[in-house]
Amino acid sequence: MKSKKIILRVIKIGGNIIDDPARLDVFLQQFATLQGAKILVHGGGKLATQLAEKLGIPQTLIEGRRVTDAATLDVVTMVYGGLVNKKVVARLQALECPALGVCGADGDLLRARKRPVKGIDYGWAGDINAVNTALIDRWLGQGLTPVVAPLTHDGQGNLLNTNADTIAQEIAQAMGTAFHTELVYIFEKDGVMLDINDPHSRIARLNAEQYLDLKARGIVSEGMIPKLDNAFAALQKGVKKVIIGAADRLEDLLEGASGTSIAEI
């Protein structure tokens, strides 16, 4: 039994950062200087949709999730696993952050199963079965910073498109046995707002009881509910803290001076 576990931060960035080169660069500068063990998980932003359009591959989104046919799987493999991942890694290297860009197939990092068809066929979409925690542990021990593209594999030779939020959550949960893990979701707003129209109504800290109350009173916006439900689920599964907020000042966000910190009590 370790009495004091090392902090590991799993930070997820999505379209609002990836699609804006200037914001991405500011974020990466802050991420690079962040002390301690860290993992970056990135989405693909609009680039995959844009490339699919240029190539004349029709895209179908159902409830915000991309239906991944074979041609679309190639597109996301190129954009997520290649373009976005390698550009981020090259930039982090320049910032002296020893980044290692991987997808879930690399080193058998994220083993998944093709999502079963239940009414909707999402195609080559994957739900995670296993996180290779021993591998991540070794990489972190060597001082490497994993940069994870939102692709998994099924162990039978197929890549699978997997939601980046879910990948971040699964990694943070799995690493929770060895580390004090914090799961950080960077998004367009500065956390959970009491009033979506008032940027000063940020809730700095939210526990399960308060959340249930806010939900019952209809104060939490519809779009936030799945995010927050997942955040509280992550806390149940070994994550110590979930932070949701904007990327403007990463240090403020991690210290609670911006964004919303979500904790059990």
**Which letter, b or e, does each residue of 65-74 get, where b requires 16 or more Cβ atoms within 10 Å of its Cβ?**
ebbbbeebbb
Half-sphere exposure of 144 (CA within 13 A, CB side): 13
155 binds a second copy (CB under 8 A): yes
Instruction: Determine the interface stretch with a second copy among 9-17, 95-103, 178-186, 252-260 (rule: CB under 8 A).
Output: 95-103
At 10, which amino acid appears? V
Member of 6, 90, 120, 257 binding a second copy (CB under 8 A): 90
Cβ(72)–Cβ(122) below 8 Å: no
26 binds a second copy (CB under 8 A): no
Size (the chain), residues: 265
Instruction: Determine the interface stretch with a second copy among 71-79, 117-125, 208-216, 217-225 (rule: CB under 8 A).
Output: 71-79
71 binds a second copy (CB under 8 A): no
Instruction: Determine the interface stretch with a second copy among 153-161, 163-171, 177-185, 196-204 (rule: CB under 8 A).
Output: 153-161
70 binds a second copy (CB under 8 A): no
Cβ(25)–Cβ(13) below 8 Å: no
107 binds a second copy (CB under 8 A): yes
Rg (CA), the chain: 18
Q: Which of 211, 215, 210, 193 is nearest to 202 (CA)?
A: 193
Residues forming contacts to a second copy in the complex (CB under 8 A) are 51, 54-55, 74, 77-83, 85-87, 89-91, 93-95, 98-103, 105-108, 138, 142, 144, 151, 153, 155-159
